[in-house]
Amino acid sequence: MKKYLITSREFYTDTPAVFRNILRERFVAHSPDFALYRDKSNPRYKTQASDFVEVCAQFENIKSFIHTDADLAKSLGARGVHLTSTQFDKIEYAKSLNLEVAVSAHTHEEVLIAEEKGADYATYSPIFASPNKGEPKGMEDLRELLAKTDMKIFALGGIVSDEQVDLVEKSGVYGFASIRYFY
């Protein structure tokens, strides 16, 4: 099962040297397959995104993704872009830049639309209780979704323990994504 590490200012800071060190430590500790730079409020977003891609490149098997900005992802040499559930109209453009595309989804319908539009991956959330993310979908809903699609789905939301990772793995999902699990 694939692992998708998502950054957060809360855990990774916006101080460049500290950010790079923490990111390297987390990569060594958890060996994620994918990593997403996501910091919605950093005034130096582009600089830190560049640092992120640079650190990812030091690890042979990590695919680097930038949140919401396909042009920035392409210019920095990231592997892909992770679009929000309001950016389905950007999937085709991101694909034209030869980027892999992940999309955030919160309903079965959103996953199916993302698949139809050519996205490579979707995060589906929240699976478990997660602060300020609404009612958890649960494992049965995740299994129902997986029966409807061939898309590579990452379970997301409230995955903070090895027991939860084991539960989502048993569903047959492509992978799991988390902020807190990896910190």
pLDDT in tens, 10-58: 888 888 899 999 999 999 999 999 999 999 888 899 999 999 999 999 9
List the structure tokens of 169.
């793995």
Q: Report the number of secondary-structure helices (H) and strands (E) in the chain.
A: 8, 8
Phi then psi for residue 65, to 5 deg, are -125, 145
pTM of the model: 0.96
State the architecture of 2-182 in CATH terms: Alpha-Beta Barrel (3.20)
- Beta-carbon count within 10 A of 117 CB: 15
Q: For the chain, which residues make up each domain, given as ranges?
A: 2-182
